[in-house]
Amino acid sequence: MFDKVYQIVKTIPRGKVMTYGQIAKLIGTRDTRKIGWALHANKSNDVPCHRVVNKDGRLAPNYAFGGADEQKLRLLSEGIKIKNTIYVDLKKYLHV
């Protein structure tokens, strides 16, 4: 299952995000925690885990590569604006 998650996350274009729920639906589960576990277990820089946010656009407080601050920096470097210090505007940046 983790490999399926990684394959999907690799398709998220630079400057866009997907939610845990979107990814869960694509792999055929309703358990979004499994998506978080997969992303947290990832050790490859080839999988842009920073492009995955929760259903409200909130950054991950336990982002595996250095916490929410690192996730925020990576998203900002791709031109994604962060509002209220921890949210991505899903209307603008969601990859569908």
pLDDT 10s digits, 33-42: 999 999 999 9
Q: In whole angstroms, what is the distance from residue 9 CA to residue 12 CA?
A: 5
Q: Which H or E element spans position 52?
A: strand 52-53
State the DSSP code for 13.
P
Which one of the listed residues 5, 12, 38, 49 is annotated catalytic?
A: 49
* Residue 65 pLDDT class (50, 70, 90 cuts): confident
Measure Cα distances from 83 to 14, 75, 87 in Å.
18, 12, 5
Q: In whole angstroms, what is the distance from residue 34 CA to residue 24 CA?
A: 8
Is residue 49 annotated as part of the catalytic site, yes or no? yes
Give the global pTM.
0.93
Domains and CATH numbers, the chain: 2-93 (1.10.10.10)
Query: Is the pLDDT at 92 greater than 80, yes or no?
Result: yes
* Residue 43 pLDDT class (50, 70, 90 cuts): confident
